[in-house]
Structure 1
Amino acid sequence: MISSRLELGSAAVIDDPYPHFAESRRRAAVQWHDGTGMWLAFGHAEANAVLRSRGLGRIWTPRWPDVPMPGFELIHRNSMLENEPPVHTRLRRLVASAFARGHVERLRPRVAELAEGLAGTLAGAGRGGVAVDLIAGFAEPLPVQVIAELLGVPESDRSLLRPWSNAIVKMYEYQVSPAQRDAAEAAAGEFVGYLRELVRRRRGRPEADLISSLIAETDSDGARLSEDELVTTCTLLLNAGHEASVNVVGNGVLALFAHPGQWQRLLAAEAAGQSLVDSGVEELIRFDSPLQLFERTAIIDTRIGGITVRAGEKIAALLGSANRDPAVFEDPDRLDVARADNPHLGFGAGIHFCVGAPLARVELQTSLRTLLRRFPALRPATEDLGALRRREFVIRGVSSLPVLLS
């Protein structure tokens, strides 16, 4: 058994985990990690197997069994992300059927309209060479507004969503303070209470939104989503959906600043009518993954990469490491916005593949296309880009991104 030397919470790993991943992959594709008490899968094939293996599952257990956290527990125990078949199968089928009612396509022109409006406001704020925050002014509000419209959250209430999500997702890190834990529980309780009231209103008066579709959706055997499952699904869509989109934009623009030739390549392709936006988005997801780690638990003894994960043991797919595996990606540390062969694991794989991936792609493609068209001279307003990095490992992003627009 090879033990991993990786210090997930260290400043060096948070600043740039990829050289550390490469060193670890050279030692072994799967290693035991004392700090987290689980196996880590560094290779693409091994991470892919972790995500797909039916010998592994998502088994929700309270992280602090002696600390009451009813709101936080509710939005996980009833989540399709935290369940396996047959519960997962039923939940995902109902949610996917509701999505299939055309909600993503319905929102496509609206996403473009929202992006254009945010870009216009940002342009006004940045007039005269004033630095503006691309995260607060563009990357963050766009997916929140899109998911709010998808769910049917009134515009007057949308400012509530991002703070709730921010507090909840901090719990997915491996170093959590008591204050962060309390904030997450408070946010979960408030979010659940808000959604219950919204569901109550939609039951009485359905509208053309996803909550109304989820309420109406019936499985082949007549089963419906319970209220707890419905509330949990809405919470998951917000937390997972907008966090990924915000962080792909933030990480992606940082990567393009570090590789200005790729930004110019995107601009030239747009001008020539041969857009590289779609392949560019996939490459930005691969190059600096917004979600770095996804863990599962062995239901039975399971072989992954030559290692036996014993029943009850945990193993995590390190998605950022998998997405830089030279066995799969040619010259993996090179950003290539035209990369054609790109089987990244940024949206997961197997039964837990992100159900919101089509919507996320619409948001990200629209975001990148809008930035290219409106701000071709986009550049950083600070030389210390590393200082912008959020000091967290699992969910990788930047807290702010000061830029100059012209």
Structure 2
Amino acid sequence: MLGGALTPFDPRDPEFLADPYPTFAALRALGAVHSHDLLDMPVAVSHAACSEVLRGRDLGRIWADAEPAADFPAFNLLHRNSLLEREGPTHARLRALVAGAFNRGHTARLEPWVRQLADRLVDDLVDQVHADGGADLIAGVAAWLPVEVIAELLGMPESERSALRGWSNTIVTMYEPDPGRVRRAAAEQAAAEFVEALRGLAAHRERHPGSDLVTDLLAADLGRDELVGTAALLFMAGHEATVNVIGNGVLALLRHPDQWERLRADPGLDATAVEELIRYDPPLQLFERTAVVDTVVAGQTVPAGSKIAALLGAAARDSQVFDCPDELDVGRSPNPHLGFGAGVHYCLGAPLARLEVAATVDALRRKLPGMQLAAEPPRRPDFVMRGLRELWLTDRPAPAPRACGGPTAPAAG
């Protein structure tokens, strides 16, 4: 592979996790694909090479059970039956059924409710800021908005929603390099509880149909394990991505106050701003695929049965595709980021995620226009799922809006 070094970065290194983008830029300057012995696969770092990984028909998602399989029955069940881990005719059948259910207007149906929920959560955040001098956006808004939205989408009872976030956070630690014995055991326990809850929900909806996605999936004649795997994927992917887009995105706006001022002055920028927040600091940094046959990515051979990863964060800062890629520009257009994937595994929940981020930004603009950092935010010690542990905000008097102009240089890096 290009680049020479077999370990071009350590995904466990706190300094790298704090800001991986200079490392990605140095790697892109050396080549499009690099070997990585800690990840045990080559990694694509250019936008073009990542696009090849995501769109290549000779590359697939070939699930291999977590081992020893007897220790991970629930975790393996969720993934073995997940839309994300299927390929070929099986994937096409399942995706068509899920897309058909999604296309029955669920996002449009939920939009007023999502915006009202974002308003209520931000109202509570503002009350805490005014009472205590600061409040955590992650705990107060970002962590709960997607939980409530996806639970509402699925028709999950109120009594079970409080456990959803913990299940998701625990299960996704298995995607990190070398999660360790304790985290692996905890992920299996969380998966078992999640499977039990989803099976109970499906059984309830068989007896009492509703206007939710689980009712639609039952009508689409999915197998019970397929329904459980699909519902779990929608929740984990939708929850983790949205929490981290909101956290990473608001932090980016706080570090670029000129761009926050542009959004304050021109709500018409919301759509492009959401795309830019996803591009600038992507919530999912790595997506891996497996070669079905011997294939080539960016001139590099990927033998059949071996894996290759697209580093989505590296693709997002590629100067061959994005002008001034290290600058935040809430009006950036076009913006061909890969934050929702590409090809046959493009994220079905992208419209819902966009709505949740836009609703949060809009609520903050109206209710906390003078937001600023109350403390330096700690990052989660994870590479694949990039996000913040906390994001404490305080308030200051907001400057008067100025006429909307073009992008200016960022105030901070």
TM-score, normalised via structure 1 length: 0.95
Corresponding letter in the other structure for 1:282? E
Q: State the one-letter code of the partner of 1:6.
A: F
Find the partner of 1:90 among 89, 93, 96: 93
1:239 partnered with 2:239: no
By how many angstroms is 1:254 displaced?
1.1
Q: Compute the displacement of 1:293 (Å).
A: 0.2
Aligned match of 2:262: 265
Aligned residue number for residue 252 of structure 2? 255
Identity of aligned residues (%): 53
Q: 2:175 aligns with which of 172, 176, 180?
A: 172
**Are 2:103 and 1:110 equivalent residues in the alignment?**
no
Q: Tell me what 1:391 maps to.
A: 381
Q: Structure 2: which amino acid aligns with 1:175?
A: D
Find the counterpart in structure 2 of residue 100 from structure 1. Answer: 103
Q: Secondary structure at the match of 1:294?
A: strand
Matches within 5 A, 1:343-362: 343-362=336-355
* Matches of 1:37 and 1:134, distance apart in 2: 36
How far residue 253 of structure 1 moved from its aligned partner, in angstroms, is 1.1
Runs of 4+ in 1 over 2 A off after TM superposition: 1-4, 62-67
Please give the alpha-carbon distance, in whole angstroms, between the structure 1 residues aligned to 2:61 and 2:68. Answer: 18
**How far is the alpha carbon of 1:239 from its aligned partner?**
0.3
Map 1:126-205 to 2 at 5 A.
126-128=129-131, 130-205=133-208
Q: Distance in 2 between matches of 1:20 and 1:298?
A: 26
Distance, in Å, in 1 between the alignment partners of 2:22 and 2:70 is 38
Instruction: Verify the 8 A CA contact 1:129 1:404 in the aligned structure 2.
Output: no
Aligned residues: 393
Deviations 1:123-146 (A, max 9, x none): 222224521110110111111100
Q: How big is each residue's C-alpha offset from its partner over 1:199-229, in whole Å with a ceiling of 9 and x where there is no partner?
A: 1010011011111011012xxxxxx210000
2:308 aligns with one of 286, 311, 315? 315
Whether the aligned pair in 2 keeps the contact of 1:347 and 1:353 (CA below 8 Å) is yes
1:58 aligns with 2:61: yes
- CA distance in structure 1 between the partners assigned to 2:162 and 2:41 by the alignment: 38
**Structure 1 range deviating more: 94-103 or 129-138:** 129-138
Deviations 1:141-169 (A, max 9, x none): 11110001000011122101000001001
Cα deviation per residue 1:308-334 (whole Å; 9 max; x = unaligned)?
A: 111111100000000100000011001
Answer whether contact 2:69 2:76 (CA < 8 A) is retained: no
Aligned to 1:25: 28
Aligned to 2:212: 209
Instruction: Give the aligned CA root-mean-square deviation in angstroms.
Output: 1.1
In structure 1, C-alpha distance between the alignment counterparts of 2:256 and 2:228, rounded to whole Å: 42
1:291 aligns with 2:284: yes
1:247 partner amino acid: N
The answer to whether the 8 A contact 1:389-1:398 is kept is yes
C-alpha separation between the residues in 2 aligned to 1:147 and 1:66?
29
2:408 alignment partner in structure 1: none
Q: What residue ranges of structure 2 are gaps of 5+ in the alignment?
A: 397-413
Give the letter for the 1:268 counterpart: A
Equivalent AA in structure 2 for residue 336 of structure 1: D
Mapped contact 1:129–1:405 kept (Cα < 8 A): no
Gaps in structure 1 of 5+ consecutive residues = 218-223
- Residue 45 of structure 1: how far off its partner (Å): 0.5
Partner Cα separation in structure 2 for residue 115 and residue 168 of structure 1: 26
**Relative to structure 1, is the Cα distance of residues 204 and 67 closer, same or farther in structure 2, using a 3 angstrom cutoff?**
closer
Partner of 1:308, secondary structure, is strand
Residue from 364, 370, 392 that aligns with 1:402:
392
